[in-house]
Amino acid sequence: MRLLPHLTKLTAPTRRCLHAAARPHDPSYRAGHDCPRLQLTLRDGTERDYLLDDPGGCPRPEAPYVAYDPYVHLAYILARQGRDADWLARFVDLPLPAAQRIAEAAALTTADV
C-alpha cells in the first residue's frame, strides 16, 4: 500500500490542524493530545479503536490498544472530501455502520477546520 501516503499528501485539505507535538509553543494546542480515533467493528467482528489519520503524523501512535487500518484511513480522507457513508461502504469495502461513524467523524472534523 505504498500509494496511500502519497494519496494522503495529494488529497489533504489546504488548512489542516497540526498535532500538539508539531507546535508545542502554541498555547491553543493541548499538551495531552490524543490522535483522532474511533471505535469500529470491521470484518472480524471485534470492536476496537482505529486511528483515523496516518500513524506517521501522530506524536503518540504506538499505543497498544489502537489499531491502524489503511482502509479506515482512506475512508476518512474520502469522507472529509464529502463522500457519503453508502458510497464509502461500497468503495472501501467497509461495513455500513463503520462507514457511517467515519462519515460522522469526518463531518465534525471538517466543521472544526
19-59 per-position pLDDT tens digit: 444 444 444 444 455 678 899 999 888 899 998 888 777 66
Q: pLDDT digit string (tens) for 53-87? A: 887 776 655 566 788 899 999 999 999 999 999 99
Domain ranges across the chain: 35-112
Q: What is the CA radius of gyration of the chain?
A: 14
